[in-house]
Amino acid sequence: MDRTRWYKDAVFYQIWPRSFCDGNGDGIGDLQGVLQKLDYIASLGVTGIWFSPLYPSPQADFGYDIANYYDINPEYGTLDDFKQVLDGAHERGMRLIMDLVVNHTSDECDWFVQSRASKDNPYADWYIWRDGKTPGSPDEGGTPPNNWDSLFEGGAWEYEPNRDQWYLHIFAKKQPDLNMDNPAVRAEVENIMRFWLDMGVDGFREDVITYISKVPELPNDNPLKPAARGMRFYDHGPRVHEYLQQFRQNVLNAYDCMTVGEAPMISPAKALEYCAEGPQQELDMVFTFEHMLADCLFTDWLPRPFDLRQYKRALGRWQTGLAEDAWNALYIENHDHPRIISRYGSEEYREESGKSLACSYLFLRGTPFVYQGQEIGMTNTHLERIEDSVDVSTFNQVRRLQTIGVSESACLQLVNRASRDHARTPMQWSARQGAGFVGGDGTAEPWFPINSNFQDINVEAAEDDPNSLLAFYREAIVLRRRLPVIREGRYREFKRQSHTIFAYAREMPGQRVLVVCSFTDKLSFFSAAKEYDLAKGELCLCNYEDAHAEDNAFFLRPYECRVYLFEE
């Protein structure tokens, strides 16, 4: 099968199904809801959909704890509903990729239920079991095999009396890690891939895929590390490349599909080990976190404020670091981060900053992903109490902060600034009761409270306004898809030292694009480099109506952004 690398021309839309659209009126998003919205999704100009997990799951981590990899969560519908959505997407010229979560499963997955039952059953070696350092249950004074932390819930080990052993969980207790060193587990992963690809799915987003191979001795980590002890023994572990190459060769190469791996804390040089094009290539792209570190409890347990220069440096490092040899995945929002306008922009200049943020990444080299609600400028929500959070990782971070003496009210503030909950409020479709998210008569209680600003910020209102952020996303996506320089061109940055302006160009013979984005609510002076005579360019996109193309030096207004096209 020839890989066409179609993903290089794609723009993806990410659906977090629980909060996208509720078709049957029970207050939980579902596939019939998605089906109703396929025309809307296609109207954005996107050419692909990524679904966060749709599989049956106890929802301890909202689907990232999978109980059955071959079916659909009954709350969301059936396999038949899924096939309707898949066909509907394909009919509209959109590909569809699934989330593949194989670092861990749910503890309610049948494999784990059997694995924990005894030491001699067909699944006994499917997870990472070890004897305690000191024998016995924790009550009897037993201690875990090593000192690793889980990223979501205290220590990384849970005791199982049936086996008098401990299992490893890098995430929550209900997310036991699979033993990828077991060939039967890898064969099962290949089976899962084939199952969905044979159905017509176009690829996978692979959850924390850089964690799947652990140093077999599972050594103790430095006890003085404040958090994430153990990570250096499983991030980019000893056999990760071998396993990913196997998956590629045994399965993926037989399909014209694509993969994007989630890779926390990876450098461009490391990314090339996974993504450099050639016979050994393992993944088509990775999601990096470097530009997403500020103001997020998920990536940093004491969130630091946004700094434009850090953001630019991170994006630029990846643009030049992967350049010709590999391909970037581009995003500024997903289900793991608070809303980008609240984080990196300004709620006061919501539409302006939303547009500037859009321009800061949509014209880079790579495949862009847009997260549900980003296109209408949804913002962070407000939680009254820490207990109103529904996010397992937030609980854990708060617990940690409390142990170092951070007060309840300071924790609540952090949660309101930086928790994953903000990305997970229901999609705001209209100003009606239930925000148009709740199906049926709209009266059911949504599974998680709708952001109180839904009467102002919603799809219907944005559709009525030709200058809305939504209209801007549509224009930007169309423009991006029309210009070969966005796929092919070289990346070049200007004004690197500026704390207020992000200016970059994409250049190839015959076509150049200059993007200028302000990140301040003050006026900010900009002068174009001498190779860019703005009077000769076409101003294709701007978030202020009365902008002119002629001056080469001018003041950008609050969060003003401009995209100029030069064709010679």
> Can you read off the two tokens belonging to residue 113?
């239920």
Choosing from 61, 202, 295, 421, the residue that interacts with ligand GLC (CB under 6 A) is: 61
Report CA-CA distances (Å) from 345 to 337, 356, 357, 532. 14, 8, 7, 27
| Residue least distant from ligand GLC (Cβ) | 64
CB of 408 to ligand GLC, least distance (A): 25
107 is catalytic: no
CB of 378 to ligand GLC, least distance (A): 18
Q: How far apart are CA 274 and CA 243, in angstroms?
A: 11
**Residues 284 and 7: beta-carbon distance below 8 Å:** yes
User: What contacts 107, CB < 8 A, 6 or more positions away?
Assistant: 65, 113, 116, 173, 174, 175, 176
Within residues 120-179, the interface with ligand GLC by CB under 6 A covers: 171
Q: Is 81 in the site for ligand GLC (CB under 6 A)?
A: no
Which of the residues 207, 282, 375, 391 is marked catalytic? 207
> Measuring CA to CA, which residue among 336, 327, 262 is closest to residue 293?
336
262 is catalytic: yes
- Which one of Ca ion, ligand GLC, none interacts with residue 24, CB within 5 to 8 A by kind? Ca ion
Q: Is 421 in the site for Ca ion (CB under 5 A)?
A: no
Within residues 244-303, the interface with ligand GLC by CB under 6 A covers: 262
Counting beta carbons within 10 angstroms of the beta carbon of residue 348, is it exposed (0 to 12), middle (13 to 18) or buried (19 or more)? exposed
Measured from the CB atom, is 18 or 562 closer to ligand GLC?
Answer: 18
Choosing from 7, 10, 11, 22, the residue that interacts with Ca ion (CB under 5 A) is: 22
- Which one of Ca ion, ligand GLC, none interacts with residue 207, CB within 5 to 8 A by kind? ligand GLC
Interstrand relation of 501-508 and 165-168 (parallel, antiparallel or unpaired)? unpaired
Counting beta carbons within 10 angstroms of the beta carbon of residue 129, is it exposed (0 to 12), middle (13 to 18) or buried (19 or more)? buried
Measured from the CB atom, is 64 or 454 closer to ligand GLC?
Answer: 64
Measured from the CB atom, is 331 or 559 closer to ligand GLC?
Answer: 331
Q: How far apart are CA 208 and CA 263, in angstroms?
A: 6
Q: How far apart are CA 64 and CA 415, in angstroms?
A: 21
Choosing from 128, 208, 263, 358, the residue that interacts with ligand GLC (CB under 6 A) is: 208
Q: Is 507 in the site for Ca ion (CB under 5 A)?
A: no
CB of 442 to Ca ion, least distance (A): 12
User: What contacts 454, CB < 8 A, 6 or more positions away?
Assistant: 428, 431, 435
Q: What does the per-residue mask of binding to Ca ion show for 24-63, with x meaning CB under 5 A?
A: x-x-x-x---------------------------------
Q: Is 336 in the site for ligand GLC (CB under 6 A)?
A: yes
Helix (H, G, I), strand (E, B) or coil at 476: helix
Q: What is the DSSP letter of 167?
A: E
Measured from the CB atom, is 157 or 349 closer to ligand GLC?
Answer: 157
Please identify every residue annotated as catalytic. 207, 262
Chain residues binding Ca ion by CB under 5 A are: 22, 24, 26, 28, 30
Chain residues binding ligand GLC by CB under 6 A are: 61, 64, 101, 171, 207-208, 262, 335-336
